Structure formats: C-alpha cells, structure tokens
Amino acid sequence: MPSKIPLLIRTRPSLIRLLKSLGINSTRFHSTSSVDQTEISHFANLASTWWDSHGSSRLLHLMNPIRLSFIQRCLLKGSPIPASSSARTSPEKLDPTAQVQDADSPQKLRFLDIGCGGGILAEALARLPSTESVVAIDPSKEVLSVALEHARQDPMLTVGEKLRYINATIEQLPKELEGRQSQFDVVTLMEVIEHVPRPSSFLTVTMQHVKPGGWLVLSTIARTWTSYFTTKLVAEDILGIVPRGTHDWNKYINADELREFFEGKEGWEEVVVMGCVYVPGLGWREVRGGEKVGNYFFGVRRGLGEGSDDK
C-alpha cells in the first residue's frame, strides 16, 4: 500500500501545472513560508464579521466549548506541569487546565495559538484562571486588527501580556519573540492545517515550539466523500452557512495520515483523537469514530525524554 505521508508534503496541483507551463521542475520548487496568499485574502475579506456570532464565523463560535473540552482531555492524559494526585475534573467543565494542576502551585500554562484569526479561541484561553499567557499569531493584518480591537473591550486582556497578538507566520515567530522563551505548554492549530500549502514543513516548524511534555492540539477535516458533501456542497453551496471558497477538499488531511506523520518523529508519544459533528440547533457534538468521516480534533504530546528535542 502506498505511503500516506506524501499527502502531507504536497504541492498544490494548480501550482504544479503553472510551474510545468513555465518549464520549471516542481520538485525543485521551495518556499520557506507556510502561507497561501489566496487563503489569506479569503479570510481578510471576512474580518469585519469575525465576532458576529450569527455571521460568517458562526460555526467557529459554536465550536469553542468543544475546543476547550478537547484541550482539557489532552491535558488530563498528561499535563506539562506535574499534577496533584488528588486532582479531578469533569468533561463538562470548560477550564481545560485549572484542576489539572496543584491548587497551590504558582505555575500556570503558556499557550501559542497559530492562525488565531479574530481571536475567538485566544480570548477564551486568556480568560482561564490557569493561564499564564497566550501568544496568538496570524499572517493577516486585517484579521488581526479585528482581534486587537475586540480584545481592547476587556481590560483584563490588555493588562501586561496575558494576551499578545503578533502579525507573523510560524516561520517568523522566533524573530518576533525577540529572544523570549519560544516553547509553550500547549500549541493550538484550530482549523488551520487544511489551509496551508505544505503541511509537512508547517508541522515540522510548529513542533519546535512545543515544550517537552507539552501538547500540539489541532482540529481539521478528514478527506472523505462525506466531508465533501457536508462541508463543500451543503455548508458552502446549498445552505451558505460557511462562505463559499473557505475549504479546498483536496487539502483535507485524514487522522491516520497525521498519526503516521508523528509516528515517524522521535519523541512524540501519546495521540488523542476525537471526531465531532455539527448538529443544527444543538451545536458541535462528539461522535465516536467521526474522525473517519469529517471534522475531528487531534492532539499529540511531546515526550519528556532525551529524544524529544527536535533539531
């Protein structure tokens, strides 16, 4: 059976055709950026309605509780900060970290939210009492300006650097941090990886920002005929609940492809996967085995051992 890894190192077919028409060998084509300008322009056009809970980002607003719940599930499997032996929590609680840590511990978690958009998840993470800080980055100036404006409405978010927005790609982040600590307890990629042209190189760079013992948590969509029907035909073309052109089915990634990718990386251990589906009138709900059909969450933990340091 052919390896599934090449999908993660894909070059978009349209780009390949263009390079061939110009007489350029696409296998030699290289870019240091994970940004697709077409994608950036698409989301920049939606910036003004990002915080309208009934607008173009409605499904993202509805997804936030289950995002936090999945982060909690990952941290319960293994916290970057040693947990109290008596710590207990329930899946219904939306603070994904508060009860994982010893109540007397002064240590709190640092988050990196990549492709933060207008800040729906970043703000929620910053408000958690167990959060030390959130660094949220996005390559779109238009979208990030909306995030900054919205954050100013909450004084708690503007005190110190509880929430810091940076207009940058993941490749530019070390320079933007200006020598500050560049590894985080939790790195999130929510609805991001299906929008980047070279997911393999993108993930490789992203992994470097996860501290030993920390988690890389993402959400994306499986590449199946069912997902084409629901996310493209129904959501975009028929119902219009997602702006047309938001998704490219060819860029979807299956959970087993991600699992195989991380199995090939030394020092990456536990994997947590959770399928989910949007139910009109009820919001997003977990569905066992849903990762084989459509939307899903994927979390992978970086080991504490010597081999966990990716160079």
- At 62-99, the pLDDT tens digits run 999 999 999 999 999 887 765 443 333 344 445 555 54
Q: Check: CB of residue 80 under 8 Å from CB of residue 99.
A: no
* CA-to-CA separations, 24 to 86, 196, 243, 256, in angstroms, rounded: 61, 22, 34, 33
Q: Is 245 annotated as a binding residue?
A: no
pLDDT at 47: 76
Q: Is 236 annotated as a binding residue?
A: no
pLDDT at 255: 94
What percentage of the chain exceeds 90 in pLDDT?
44
Q: What is the C-alpha to C-alpha distance for residues 103 and 116, in angstroms, rounded to an integer? A: 29
CATH number of 37-78+109-222+248-302: 3.40.50.150
pLDDT at 205: 95
pTM beyond 0.75: yes
Q: What is the C-alpha to C-alpha distance for residues 32 and 144, in angstroms, rounded to an integer? A: 22
Q: Check: CB of residue 268 under 8 Å from CB of residue 76.
A: no
- Give the count of alpha carbons within 13 A of 150, CB side only: 21
Q: Is 138 annotated as a binding residue?
A: yes
pLDDT at 74: 95
pLDDT at 298: 97
pLDDT digits (tens, 9 = 90+) for 30-70: 445 677 777 777 666 667 788 888 887 888 889 999 999 99
| 289 conformational bin, left if phi > 0, alpha if psi -120 to 50, beta if neither | left
pLDDT at 245: 73
Residue 52 tokens, joined: 């309208």
Q: Is 115 annotated as a binding residue?
A: yes
Q: What is the C-alpha to C-alpha distance for residues 96 and 72, in angstroms, rounded to an integer? A: 4
CA dihedral 194, 291, 70, 162 (to 10 degrees): 0
Residue 33 tokens, joined: 């950026």
Q: Cα angle vertex 129, ends 104, 97, to 5°?
A: 75
For the chain, the domains span 37-78+109-222+248-302
pLDDT at 188: 98
Low-confidence ranges of the chain (pLDDT < 70): 1-33, 42-46, 81-106, 179, 236, 305-311
